[in-house]
A and B are shown apart, each in its own frame.
Chain A
Amino acid sequence: AQSVTQLDSQVPVFEEAPVELRCNYSSSVSVYLFWYVQYPNQGLQLLLKYLSGSTLVKGINGFEAEFNKSQTSFHLRKPSVHISDTAEYFCAVSDPPSNTGKLIFGQGTTLQVKP
């Protein structure tokens, strides 16, 4: 069965600093990968997705992620964070990509941006 591991439960960072949120997945087949963001008291919003092609994916709000098949990783990065980026971030993998679209989510990483 597929699984997703987000290696950090909390990531504190100062405003304007770079950040990387780590995500590893386990799968024996090709996958689709997603990052979602959840702001307080809101639902999840799609940040970016990898389906195929270029391994560097750019998303909304200046975020990007790189798919690394050999390391089964899909880390999320932003070169300079803002206070408004404070939220919970979820990595997800489709299970499997060919049919239902059911997503398997990681445990989430809380990004805390400090002034």
Chain B
Amino acid sequence: GAGVSQSPSNKVTEKGKDVELRCDPISGHTALYWYRQSLGQGLEFLIYFQGNSAPDKSGLPSDRFSAERTGGSVSTLTIQRTQQEDSAVYLCASSLPTGGQGGYTFGSGTRLTVV
């Protein structure tokens, strides 16, 4: 597609439920990143995928968070047993392999509210 697509755009879930957030990157972009943006905070790095390499999971805040990327394209971020502190906007971005030079293309994000 023309841009990075994220779904759903908004998600309200009850505490303790599991949620899945989806990201469709730009076609041909081999690098994919997930960030979390909490109210009044900057962007917190969560996880990074590059082609077939092992993902960099160093930013995942707990073992309740996981992500996968199927076929080198679509990615799903899963949060198990959601907590209220998980409420945030989850942003996905993709880039060419030289992402460090070209910058990212961001999706519009998924706003997650845990009640």
Contact = CB atoms under 8 A, between A and B. Distances in A.
Interface of A: 4, 6, 32, 34, 36, 41-46, 49, 51, 90, 92, 94, 96-108
Interface residues of B, number: 26
B42 A107 contact: yes
Given A43-B91, A43-B109, A44-B106, A102 B101 contact: no
B42 A101 contact: no
Contact of B95 (A90, A96, A101): A101
7 contacts: A6-B42, A45-B106, A46-B104, A94-B100, A102-B100, A103-B104, A108-B42
Interface string B20-62: 0000000000010101000001110100101000001000000
Contacts of A101: 31, 95, 98-101, 104
Nearest to B50: A100
A96 B100 CA distance: 8
Contacts of B100: 32, 94, 96-102
A86 B2 CA distance: 26
A98 B42 CA distance: 23
Contact of B43 (A45, A49, A51, A90): A90
B77 to A, nearest CB: 15
Contacts of A104: 45
Contacts of B102: 49
Contact of B108 (A42, A92, A96, A97): A42
A7 to B, nearest CB: 13
A94 B31 CA distance: 14
B41 to A, nearest CB: 7
B99 A43 contact: no
A38 to B, nearest CB: 8
